[in-house]
């Protein structure tokens, strides 16, 4: 009998790779995969931080649009509004992993006025700390990012003319000077916007002049503009008030 030939031919199965070879390949690829993962995390972190910084700028600009007079006056109400502006920006930016300037920039008014038909603008910069040294070497670490937002000013009166005195007549009886009707401004702090709007109309004011902040939900009112108006008498048809959450 002949002896069977047990040598491997070209069409036979190939030998399986050893587990040691797989471990070596994984060891070589693992640092590269980790680096790619860190780069993805870094860019995702930067994008999220930029979105949050934009939102912080919008919050500051919205507040400045309803308190524009705070940067043109020197009374206690103006000082309180400026402190509130600083507090709003710092509180919202506390969730962002970046460093704001030690002195926050004040709002600017690019249209040259702080009344209706103007705009309030806030520009912010923030230094973001990167996680990956490789990305930091390319774009710099920390990386400075900027955000800007502008809102139309919603404080002031549309041209209200003072009561006019009629021309004298030939009759000896004096003609009385017409005066606009006055209404007492109700207190709206702590009320929901819908009931507050009804109170505004019951007091004799035009409901069109009852303005709610952006995002007109039925929220509890915490701010009134002008803040000094509660309990005072103002012209019913023209006095305007803006409320916010």
pLDDT at residue 219 in the model: 81
pLDDT for position 83: 92
pLDDT in the model for residue 151: 92
Rounded CA-CA distance 70/68 in Å is 5
Hey, is 44 helix, strand or coil? helix
pLDDT averaged over every residue in the chain: 78
The pLDDT value recorded for residue 160 is: 46
Q: What is the pLDDT of residue 123?
A: 93
Q: What are the structural domain ranges in the chain? A: 21-152, 182-244
Q: Output the CA–CA distances (angstroms, integers) from residue 130 to 35, 142, 216, in the order listed.
A: 13, 6, 38
**pLDDT of the residue at 159:** 45
Question: Mind listing the pLDDT tens digit for each residue in 123-156?
Answer: 998 888 777 766 666 677 777 888 899 999 887 6
The model scores a pTM over 0.85: no
Q: Angle at CA 132, nearest 5°, toward 129 and 134?
A: 115
pLDDT of residue 84: 92
Name the stretches of the chain with pLDDT < 50.
1, 159-161
Nearest to 163 by CA among 179, 145, 140: 179
What is the full DSSP assignment across 94-154? TTSSEE--SSPPPPB-TTS-SSTT-EEEEEEEEEEPPS-HHHHHHH-SSEEEEEEEEEE--
Within a 10 A sphere around the Cβ of 191, how many other Cβ atoms? 16
Class at the top of the CATH hierarchy for domain 182-244:
alpha beta
Q: What is the pLDDT of residue 1?
A: 47
**What are the tens digits of pLDDT across the range 94-106?**
877 778 888 888 9
């Amino acid at each position: 009998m002949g002896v069977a030939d047990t040598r491997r031919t070209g069409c036979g199965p190939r030998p399986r790779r050893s587990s040691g070879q797989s471990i070596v390949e994984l060891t070589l690829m693992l640092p590269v995969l980790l680096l790619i993962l860190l780069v993805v995390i870094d860019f995702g972190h930067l994008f999220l931080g930029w979105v949050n910084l934009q939102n912080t700028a919008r919050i500051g600009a919205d507040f400045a649009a309803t308190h524009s007079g705070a940067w043109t006056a020197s009374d206690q109400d103006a000082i309180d509004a400026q402190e509130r502006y600083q507090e709003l920006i710092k509180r919202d930016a506390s969730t962002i992993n970046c460093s704001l300037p030690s002195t926050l920039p004040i709002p600017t008014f690019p249209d040259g006025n702080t009344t209706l038909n103007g705009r309030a603008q806030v520009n912010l910069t923030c230094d973001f700390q990167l996680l990956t040294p490789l990305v930091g070497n390319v774009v710099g670490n920390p990386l400075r990012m900027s955000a800007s937002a502008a809102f139309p000013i919603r404080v002031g009166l549309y041209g209200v003319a003072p009561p006019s005195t009629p021309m004298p007549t030939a009759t000896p009886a004096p003609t009385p000077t017409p005066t606009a009707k006055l209404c007492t401004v109700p207190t709206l702090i702590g009320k929901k916007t819908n009931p507050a709007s009804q109170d505004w109309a019951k007091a004799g004011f035009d409901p069109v002049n009852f303005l709610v902040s952006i995002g007109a939900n039925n929220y509890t009112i915490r701010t009134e503009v002008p803040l000094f108006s509660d309990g005072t008498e103002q012209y019913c048809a023209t006095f305007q008030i803006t409320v916010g959450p």
